[in-house]
Structure 1
């Protein structure tokens, strides 16, 4: 079937101007994966569907979904915008990074299954004030499988033990218990707390998360470990990740008086 009119749930990933007054809008759909929609005259004042095509918007859409090429929208209802994300440059960057991870992992038009609801929940949690880095870290850990990298987070890859300290080994593609640390002198030397969270993140349903409170030192360690895994084992870096790193570097240069305090940071995962 070349085309079909469908009602579907969607999340606006990005948009760009097209021709004189039109717009291209990329939407993550619950049924068809990522699709690019052409909206004629979308940049004209009074465009009827304007509220439903803003970045970081969740809505129900009605339109012509084509297997290849551009698709088209005819109606939008039940529009909800993630306003805090839209108005905060840091939250915006983390939400864009989450979309970027999925965008690079899945080709357009391929259904993403579980990921639609997981990403919708991730945006909801970020929008309601939960720590955006930790939410992005959960997505990073779980998205590894989509990139063909599926570390063993269950226990030691050699003997399955979980009762000894564990560390991550790129060479072995997962965790090594202390008995086998000598087998990989280049293991990541991750802290026990970071390993605890990485194991939890690998199976975490974000719909069950109510609070996040992770100490800054643990957050820094999680970032270090996941950056190494993505650089060495995945090899992709969404544009938003570079922006986040630049923001972090800028914040590190601020005098302590201008940095957010621990009480201002919704930072150890609690359920």
Structure 2
């Protein structure tokens, strides 16, 4: 058996799945240890004492036995909270699930990523508080590209590095092309200036400092289309939760 470490940890519940007759497997993004899979024995029993601590969209301070390899164990939910608005709203639920799925796919289990723990916690709070769930999701999509090994240049022209001319996005050049070099890529995406503006903004925005953001339906549709294209062609990742959002029609404004 892998050696364990009894300790407290800060965790955001990513998902649960059944395991054997009475148990659950729960994946947490922990601030201290990265993503970890936990076995919760007896979790499906009617009077299981930790039931409230392992509901979807739960976060807080837990106690457990952390294993370097294999399954860890949750022993206690010490200071636990729930994103109730997300849990109760099918659209917020879908976007939040999609963001957590992307983070789960972008990083290896056991890789400490405390900055992403903090970022996810802030993003979920914003969605829970009523910020536009699609825009918060788009910010995560843009900022996670580097973790997926795709790092578009959102700063300047990939050819001449000018910043004072209109831009378009080029998959071939891995980022922006200024107007003087649009001819180099006949398959550039032909994005309008507002869409480019928000893509550049989303790449650097600090969610902790976000107080208000309002994007037109037209621009939201364009953002959805370009990010779908980048993820499909360059990243190659389409979680099931994304397909559910598409079915809801919330990405097709």
TM (normalized to structure 1)?
A: 0.90
Q: Which residue of 2 aligns with 1:103?
A: 104
Deviations 1:3-23 (A, max 9, x none): 211211110011112111111
Within 5 A, what are the aligned runs for 1:106-117? 106-117=107-118
Query: Where does 1:14-25 land on structure 2 (aligned, <5 Å)?
Result: 14-25=15-26
Aligned-partner Cα distance in 2 for 1:249–1:209? 22
Map residues 58-69 of structure 1 onto 2, 5 A cutoff: 58-69=59-70
Q: List per-residue Cα deviations over 1:166-216 (Å, max 9, x = no partner).
A: 010000001000000000010011110011011111111101111121110
Distance 1:33 1:27 in 2: 8
Q: Which moved more, 1:17-26 or 1:127-136?
A: 17-26
Change (3 A) 1:249 1:133: closer
After superposition, give the CA deviation of every residue in 1:8-49 in whole Å (9 maximum; x if it has no partner). Answer: 111001111211111111111001111111111111122121
Query: Shift of residue 250 of structure 1?
Result: 10
Confirm whether residue 240 of structure 1 aligns to residue 232 of structure 2: no
Q: What corresponds to 1:200 in structure 2?
A: 201
- Cα distance between partner residues in 2 of 1:120 and 1:239: 22
| Contact 2:245/2:251, CA 8 A, preserved across alignment | no
5+ long unaligned stretches in structure 1: 253-271
Aligned residues: 252
Query: Is residue 40 of structure 2 the alignment partner of residue 39 of structure 1?
Result: yes
Partner in structure 1 of residue 147 of structure 2? 146
Aligned alpha-carbon RMSD (Å): 1.4
- Regions of 4+ moved over 2 Å: 249-252
Task: Give the Cα separation in 1 of the matches to 2:250 and 2:209.
Answer: 32
Deviation at 1:249, TM superposition (A): 7.3
Distance 2:119 2:147 in 1: 14
In the TM superposition, residue 113 of structure 1 has moved relative to its aligned partner by: 3.1
Superposition TM-score, scaled by structure 2 size: 0.96
